[in-house]
Structure 1
Amino acid sequence: MSKSIVVGTTLAVLGLGGMAFGAWQMQEAQEARQPQYAEITGVEPLTRSVETPREVCENVTVQRQAPTRDPHRVVGSAAGAIVGGLLGNQIGGGSGKKIATVAGAVGGGLAGREVQERIESGQTVTTTEQRCHTVTDTHQETTGYEVSWRHDGEVHTSRLDSRPEGERVRLVDGKPQWQASASPAEG
């Protein structure tokens, strides 16, 4: 083989190798400029319980003892005294009759008072009253989201105020850019 063929072939091989190396470097540089993404692997809402008190009022039927028109039970005492006096007057004669009449009137007055009290205690009045009480309503409020994401085989977590969109997030210098998360159709 001639020396010029060997030198030419060697230069051609070196030239092709250099071109291949240059193309590889360009591809590496281009890949470095390509946006990088991390896969979102989980989104868990963070919640807290919120209790709100409120007043609930209901109309309730209530039975009460009827108010008396004669709180001192004068009518019962008087009626009892009259009946007792009449009965006492039927007993005996002379001064014994007077004592029996007075004793009958006193006893009848006490008995009449008791009878009136028993009758009035059994009398009721039905009314409707409004009764109110406080109840507490409880509900869950979302305060943020715990987001798990994977990049280069490592799983990381971030706490966000709002749910991320899409299935991946763009990375800049290895840090997620949540405000510009990628949709599944992007990139």
Structure 2
Amino acid sequence: MNKSILLGAVLGAVGVTAGGAMATYGWVSGPQYAEVLAVAPALETVKTPREVCEDVQVTRRRAVQDQHQIAGTVIGAVAGGLLGNQVGGGNGKKLATVAGAAAGGYAGNKVQEGMQARDTYVTTERRCKQVVDSEQRQVGFDVQVQHKGALRQLRLSYDPGKRIPLDEQGELLLVQPAQG
């Protein structure tokens, strides 16, 4: 037999065996995924402001027309003077009239002041205030992975399950699997 053919056959057999061994080594070398150790929902607090309004009853004082209670003072003084004039005679009558006018003026002033303080009305007002509603929303998953002998923390948009596949270079393949 020809040496070239024999040498070619031997080299070919060695190449096929080596190629098969290399292919088998990739299959035997270990799993092509990283182990997931923990998965927890990643939550975020969302705050939403809004306005809350309500109608409330409010008591208000009417505007005062006579700030110094002049009308009450004058009416009280006249009434007090008339009453004082009914008492006594001569100079005593004059003194009683003046005293009655002074006391009546003071009393009339205080009566009008009290009436003005109690002169109120009730109205309805709309009162609004800002409140903030808080809500927890899930924004993904916090994942702890054992990869290349180290612990890694990841945030994914999906739950990866118990393991994450690796690409040909041994890096994490972080693609959400198709829903099926």
TM-score, L = length of structure 2? 0.69
Would the aligned equivalents of 2:47 and 2:135 in 1 still touch at CA under 8 Å?
yes
Amino acid at match of 2:154: R
Deviation at residue 42 of structure 1 after TM alignment: 3.1
Would the aligned equivalents of 1:146 and 1:157 in 2 still touch at CA under 8 Å?
no
Q: Tell me the percent identity.
A: 42
Amino acid at match of 1:42: A
Runs of 5+ unmatched residues, structure 2: 1-12
User: What CA distance in whole angstroms lies between the structure 2 residues aligned with 1:138 and 1:121?
Assistant: 46
Equivalent in the alignment of 1:133: 129
Amino acid at match of 1:128: T
Q: Note closer, same or farther for the CA distance 1:109–1:90 as it changes in structure 2 (3 Å cut).
A: same
Of 24, 31, 37 in structure 1, the residue corresponding to residue 27 of structure 2 is 31
User: What CA distance in whole angstroms lies between the structure 2 residues aligned with 1:91 and 1:132?
Assistant: 63
Of 151, 157, 180 in structure 1, the residue corresponding to residue 152 of structure 2 is 157
How many pairs were matched up? 163
TM-score, L = length of structure 1? 0.66
Corresponding position: 1:171 with 2:166: yes
Runs of 5+ unmatched residues, structure 1: 1-17
Q: Note closer, same or farther for the CA distance 1:125–1:56 as it changes in structure 2 (3 Å cut).
A: same
User: What CA distance in whole angstroms lies between the structure 2 residues aligned with 1:174 and 1:60?
Assistant: 69
The 5 Å alignment of 1:1-187 reads 22=17, 25=21, 28-29=24-25, 31=27, 36-149=32-145, 156-165=151-160, 167-172=162-167, 173-179=169-175, 181=177
**Alignment root-mean-square deviation, CA:** 3.5
Would the aligned equivalents of 1:60 and 1:131 in 2 still touch at CA under 8 Å?
yes
